[in-house]
Amino acid sequence: MHDTTTRITRRQLADGREIIYVDEPGAPERTAVDPRPVEERVHAGEIRWDALVGDWVAVASHRQNRTFMPPKDECPLCPAGHGSMPSEIPERDYQVVVFENRFPSYSVGAEGADAPDAAGVFGTRPASGRCEVVCFTSDHEASFKDLPVERVRTVIDTWADRTRELGARPEVEHVFCFENRGKEIGVTLPHPHGQIYAYPYLPARSAQLLEAATRHHERTGRLLGADILAAERADGSRVVISGTHWTAYVPFAARWPVEVHLAPHRDVPDLDALDGAERDELAAVYRDLLGRLDRYYVDEAGGPVRLPYIAAWQQAPAKKGRDVSRLHLQLVSVLRGPGKLKFLAGSESGVGGWVNDVAPERAAARLREVAP
C-alpha cells in the first residue's frame, strides 16, 4: 500500500476463512476470536465451458442458501454484539474489513473436476480463485457516499492492495473490484459493502475490452482508453467532473440510463499503479460522484431518490495485455426514472443489442446540475 500508516491485521474465522482488518492510525488492535462453532467450510464447485459463445460459467449451487435481506438485528456484516445473530466480523467495531466470502463462486479449494472435453463441448475446470467481501464501515445505515474522504482513501488503498496480492496468485487471470447497491441490482445484504472476484479466466466483458484495446494499439500505437478520454475532454459536452488527475464523463455510446466513467489522466493499468496524489483526488471525486447519483432523480414530493447502482472497476488483466489496458471506473444504474427500471429484455438479453432511452448529453447535464 502507498499509505504506510495503514495497519493490516490478518486473522482466521472459525471455518478457516481469512479475515483482514484495514485500520487507520489510532484504531485498537484486532484480537477478537470468532466465537462461532467450527463448521465445514463451503468451497466453490466448477466452471463449465459454454461452447456456443466461447465463455466459462461458474456453477455454484450452494449460493442458493446464502443469507437474503435479513433484518438489521440479524445482519452478518454488522460488528459482533450488534444483533441477535453471530457476525462474520468478530470485532465489536471496525473500519474497513475484507474477508473470504462464505458462499464463494470461486475459491482456492474448488471441488470441480479438470476435465477437458475432446469435442470441445462439455469441458469443465475447478472454479479456482477467490471471492472476497469488502465492508466499508461498521455503520449499517450508511452508504459509500456518507464515508469521510479519509475512509474512502482507505478503501481505495484496500482495493489496490487486494488487486496486487490476488493478481499475483498463479491461478488468477483477472481481479474485479465492484460494489452493488440497492435491491433493484440484486443486493442480498443491505449493509454497505462491496466485493472482489479473482477469476481463473478472463471474463467475457473484460476480454472484449482487451480485444478492442489491442486492435487500437496495433493500428495507432496509442492506448484506446487514453484516446477516448482525450476526445471526451476535448468535446466537453458529456464531462461531469474535471480534476487535476481524474475526469468523470458520460460515455458517447452509454448503454444505461445513468452511466458515468471515471478515468485517470495518467496511463495506469490498475488501481495498484495509482500514486498518492491520484488516490487522494480519487477519494474526493468518487465521493462527489456518488453523492450526485442520489440527487439525480427527485420523487413526487421533491425529495431525492436513492439510486441503485453498480460501481465496476475495469482493470488490466492480471497476466496479459497490461501494456495496452487502461484503468477506468464504470458506474451504472438500472433506474431510468423514479420507480422505473431499465429491463434487459428481448433485444439486450436475446442478442445483446442495447437501446438507451436517455441521451448521454442529457444525463451529463443533469449530473453537472446536481453538483454539491
Separation of alpha carbons 270 and 225, rounded Å: 13
pLDDT in tens, 99-156: 999 999 999 989 877 887 777 899 999 999 999 999 999 999 999 999 999 999 999 9
Tell me which of 201, 224, 249 is where a domain ends. Answer: 201
Nearest to 315 by CA among 284, 274, 371: 274
Q: Is the pLDDT assigned to residue 180 strictly greater than 90? A: yes
Predicted confidence (pLDDT) per residue in 217-260, tens digit = 999 999 999 999 999 999 999 999 999 999 999 999 999 999 99
pLDDT value of residue 66: 87
Question: Which range marks the domain in which residue 312 is found?
Answer: 206-369
Confidence bin at 1 (pLDDT 50/70/90): very low
What pLDDT is recorded for position 3? 53
From the number of C-beta atoms within 10 Å of its C-beta (0-12, 13-18, 19+), residue 351 rates as exposed
CATH code at position 106: 3.30.428.10
Q: Is residue 50 part of a domain?
A: yes
The active-site residue out of 174, 193, 216, 328 is: 193
- In the listed set 201, 234, 267, which residue is the last one of a domain according to the structure? 201
Pairwise CA distance, residues 221 & 214, whole Å: 10
Q: Tell me the whole-structure pTM to 2 decimals.
A: 0.96
- Whether 216 is catalytic: no
65 and 170 together in one domain: yes
Q: Is 131 annotated as a binding residue?
A: no
Number of independent structural domains in the chain: 2
